[in-house]
Chain A
Amino acid sequence: MEPQLSWYLALSAVLFTIGAAGVIIKRNVIQMFMCIELMLNAVNLTFIAFSSFFQDVTGQLFVFIVMTVAAAEAAVGLGIIIAIFRNRESLDVDDASILKL
């Protein structure tokens, strides 16, 4: 039995759910950041699966752009994390719950 399209969608849904649960459960900023990366990857898997099953290159182009956005997000997000750590001496999101330094 060949892999069906819905298998890939199910895998993507499971990964996205694990990432979303991690964002809610985790309190370390860096781990929350990594969970967001996992969610982006789950969406990428959906794009690739549809692109491959419909024989359309557009999905893979969008994955390319999503990866670029993820790289930009990593650069800016880690800069923000370093700025938070300098001001609070902590990576716990509960210590950064007010919008001022």
Chain B
Amino acid sequence: MATILFIVFAGLAIGSAIAMVSQRNPLYSAISLIGVFIALASIYVTLAAPFIAAVQVIVYAGAIMVLVIFVIMLLNVEQEEPRRRRLRFLVPAAIGMAAILIAETAFILYSVQTTPGQMPRGLSDVGLTYSIGEGLFTGYLLPFEITSILLLMAIVGAMSLARRTGFLSANARVVPGTQVLAMDIVNPRAVGDQRPVQTKTSNEAAHLLGVDSIRDREE
């Protein structure tokens, strides 16, 4: 019975993983990755780790993948551009490296034969919530606290990264009416490019400059 479950869920995990890598559309990849997470959570249940299985579904398939899908939809990139020729050689290189990695892991599997092969019989409390909580708050209290500091740093870092950091200051205003701007003001990447860019309305100029000041001015 356990063998059948393992084969079913392992096949689901590997199939979803291959589908994830072979998809061109990031949204389909994300959904395939959720399939991998669900299959792995099922395998955790068969390994007598119900708490981690629940956390896997809630945190990974729930929170993290929702965040990823949110970003995919927010950026809304329509289609992947055609593959560039000069990167063709990367595919055989990747296959070769994957073969090397598989060989290494096969060697490790071969040399790990001294470990106990069978799952221990009988009931155990290893995977239960209270034993995990006991371990987390007694022997591993310091890593737990360090993890909380890491999360705090992640919150601060994500906020400072995602903030709109324009090259104009936040209280910059656009002059109303038709105007001519230099290219290196509109596009910060075109350094030193002084070609004129003409805008018909002040809304258009504000959009080019990344300033949404028109509404502020009218209020």
Q: Which residues of A contact B (CB under 8 A)?
A: 1-11, 13-22, 24-28, 30-31, 33-35, 37-38, 41, 44-45, 48-49, 51-58, 60-61, 63-65, 67-76, 78-83, 85, 87, 90-92, 94, 101
Most buried by B among A22, A31, A58: A31
B126 & A69 in contact (Cβ 8 Å cutoff): no
> With contacts defined as CB atoms under 8 Å apart, how many contacts are there between chain A and chain B in the complex?
237
Considering the complex, give the chain A residue whose CB is closest to the CB of B58.
A67
- Of the A-B pairs whose beta carbons lie under 8 Å apart in the complex, a sample of 8, sorted by A's number, is A3-B2, A5-B117, A13-B108, A24-B93, A35-B21, A52-B126, A64-B55, A82-B75
Contact present for B3 and A3 (CB under 8 Å): yes
Q: Are B118 and A4 in contact (CB under 8 A)?
A: yes
Known contacts A3-B6, A72-B151, A74-B67; is-contact A53 B98 (Cβ 8 Å): no
Which of under 10, 10 to 19, 20 to 34, or 35 or more describes the interface residues of B?
Answer: 35 or more
Stretch at the interface among B36-44, B173-181, B198-206: B36-44
Say whether chain B's binding surface is mostly helix, strand, loop, or mixed. helix
Bound: A74/B126 CA distance, A:
29
A2 CA to B63 CA, complexed, in Å: 34
Could you tell me if B13 and A11 are in contact, using CB atoms closer than 8 angstroms?
yes
